């Protein structure tokens, strides 16, 4: 969502959507996600079954996976559990219920450099598949893959709260977990013809409660690993409209990055407003590849 507060202003959602986008800030979802967010996915978890379909999606099954573990101490990595002892926080962009709580998500919170909306509803494909449905689905798949490698994984939210959390709380959750890595999963809402993925890195910020000086370098390394492995797993190229072909973008206006004290990046997996990208984002098999690419990138970063 490189256009957090710009991309949604230009969006015109289909009448089929049960909401109109409010102030923007990243990927989001609507009520269809609530019907699909808890469904198991056979590829990711070994389960089966599918919940109600999400408009515009070819397959809306979302693997649930076990609850985040909370074991004390650090486990010892083994060949089949190379991420044992490591903590990863996955931040699914937006919340399926945000569109019902415009007053709450439009309240501004301090992000260090300025005050910004608590959260946003996010974008959607032209057919109505919402960003929040996408981010929650990929996050479930990612959690299952990381836990299989022994990592302790926590989701910032699991559609288990009415809205949010706000961007400042999203950062705080990763900080309190003392996460080794945090990835915020999103999809962009740029113009048609703009294709590809990109990773957003924290800029140097030292203002008020924000100080990114300690996380800039490790966050960049994490971002670079994600670019390599996401492209390899999905076959997709870095964005043709931002990052000059590097797949990397640096920003100082995102509270989730500004307020983080642990390595954190945002990943825009594709552009929901482009027909070709949308065809991928709504394909369950591609979403599994996306989750695999993210897991591989995080693993490569944590293994050094």
Closest CA to 268 of 203, 195, 197: 197
Catalytic, 117? Answer no
Tokens of 130: 């919402």
Is beta strand 206-207 parallel, antiparallel or unpaired with respect to 210-211?
A: antiparallel
DSSP secondary structure letter of residue 215: T
Closest CA to 222 of 192, 202, 239, 196: 202
Tokens of 169: 């709380």
Q: How far apart are CA 212 and CA 261, in angstroms?
A: 7
Torsion (CA) 186, 296, 44, 236 in degrees, nearest 10: 60
Cis previous bond, 276, omega within 30: no
Torsion (CA) 276, 282, 287, 290 in degrees, nearest 10: 30
Active-site residue, from 117, 147, 169, 268: 268
Q: How far apart are CA 268 and CA 167, in angstroms?
A: 16
DSSP secondary structure letter of residue 85: T
Q: How far apart are CA 64 and CA 40, in angstroms?
A: 5
DSSP secondary structure letter of residue 188: E
Q: How far apart are CA 185 and CA 226, in angstroms?
A: 12
Quick one: CA dihedral 11, 15, 18, 20, positive or negative? positive
Q: How far apart are CA 301 and CA 304, in angstroms?
A: 5
Residues designated catalytic: 268
């Amino acid at each position: 969502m490189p256009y957090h507060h710009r991309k949604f202003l230009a969006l015109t959602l289909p009448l089929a959507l049960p909401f109109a986008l409010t102030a923007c800030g990243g990927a989001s979802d609507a009520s269809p996600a609530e019907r699909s967010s808890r469904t198991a996915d056979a590829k990711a978890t070994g389960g089966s079954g599918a919940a109600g379909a999400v408009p515009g999606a070819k397959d809306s099954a979302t693997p649930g996976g076990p609850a985040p573990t909370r074991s004390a101490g650090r486990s010892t990595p083994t060949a089949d559990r190379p991420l044992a002892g490591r903590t990863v926080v996955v931040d699914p962009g937006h919340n399926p219920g945000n569109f019902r709580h415009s007053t709450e998500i439009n309240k501004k919170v301090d992000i260090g450099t300025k005050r910004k909306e608590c959260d946003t509803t996010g974008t959607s494909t032209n057919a109505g598949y919402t960003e929040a449905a996408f981010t929650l689905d990929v996050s479930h798949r990612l959690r299952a893959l990381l836990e299989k490698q022994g990592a302790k994984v926590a989701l910032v939210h699991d559609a288990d709260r009415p809205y949010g959390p706000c961007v400042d709380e999203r950062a705080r959750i990763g900080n309190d977990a003392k996460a080794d890595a945090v990835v915020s999963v999103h999809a962009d809402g740029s113009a048609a013809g703009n294709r590809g993925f990109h990773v957003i890195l924290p800029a140097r910020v030292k203002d008020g409660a924000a100080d990114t000086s300690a996380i800039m370098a490790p966050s960049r390394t994490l971002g670079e690993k994600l670019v390599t492995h996401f492209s390899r797993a999905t076959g997709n190229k870095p964005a043709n409209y931002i990052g000059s072909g590097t797949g990397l973008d640096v920003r100082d206006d995102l509270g989730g990055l500004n307020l983080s004290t642990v390595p954190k990046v945002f990943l825009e997996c594709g552009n929901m407003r482009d027909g070709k990208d949308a065809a991928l984002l709504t394909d369950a098999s591609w979403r599994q590849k996306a989750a695999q690419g993210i897991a591989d990138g995080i693993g490569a970063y944590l293994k050094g």
